[in-house]
Amino acid sequence: MNPLGLIRQFVKGITTETEPPQIAAAVALGFLIGLLPKATLTAQLLLILVMALRVNFPMALLTIFATILVNPVFDRITDPLGYAFLTAPALAPLWTKLYNMPVLPWTGFNNTVLLGGLIFGLVMFVPVYILAKKGAVVYNERFKIKVMNSKLVKGLKSSWLMDWYFK
């Protein structure tokens, strides 16, 4: 396989998972990652998980960036939520144990926004997944043909790049 072929395979690989459940899972995971501070091991591990799973990677990336834009709003929910969990007396032994384990401090679990974001993102995972799946189905049913027949897409399809990609 030549280097160009490799690149083609790469692009194809990360854009082929286009079934509604794959798009929905990507959106839900992207939303979860987007909520978290990125310079932590947790966010990086979740990103690797997205890469490892058969979900639509571009959609996950798009959702991460979209969530980052509204982070200041979500922080108002996740910060107090995380703080409540981190300072709950009943959970203190668990956090203390994790805090004393090697590597785990790098996950940033003791950051209020990270823990709050993780909890909020997991709670919202199913609703976001269902909504995104419905959205994908609706798109496929109602808009996909229109979009594919639009001048922009047709123009793009007739370009050398698409020609090369679908070769």
Q: Which positions touch another protein (CB under 8 A)?
A: 1, 6, 9-10, 12-14, 16, 37, 39, 51-52, 54, 57, 71, 75, 78-79, 82-83, 86-87, 92, 95-96, 99-103, 105-106, 110-114, 116
Residue 119 and residue 16: Cα distance in Å, rounded? 30
CB of 32 to another protein, least distance (A): 15
Please say whether the beta carbons of 24 and 133 come within 8 A: yes
Residue 125 and residue 141: Cα distance in Å, rounded? 24
Which of residues 110 and 140 has its CB atom nearest to another protein in the complex?
A: 110
CB of 154 to another protein, least distance (A): 26
Q: Distance between the two ends of the chain, CA-based, in angstroms?
A: 15
CB of 25 to another protein, least distance (A): 16
Which of residues 93 and 152 has its CB atom nearest to another protein in the complex?
A: 93
Which of residues 1 and 69 has its CB atom nearest to another protein in the complex?
A: 1
Residue 20 and residue 164: Cα distance in Å, rounded? 26
Residue 136 and residue 66: Cα distance in Å, rounded? 17
| The Cα angle at residue 65 between residues 23 and 84, in degrees rounded to 5 | 95
CB of 109 to another protein, least distance (A): 10
Which of residues 39 and 152 has its CB atom nearest to another protein in the complex?
A: 39
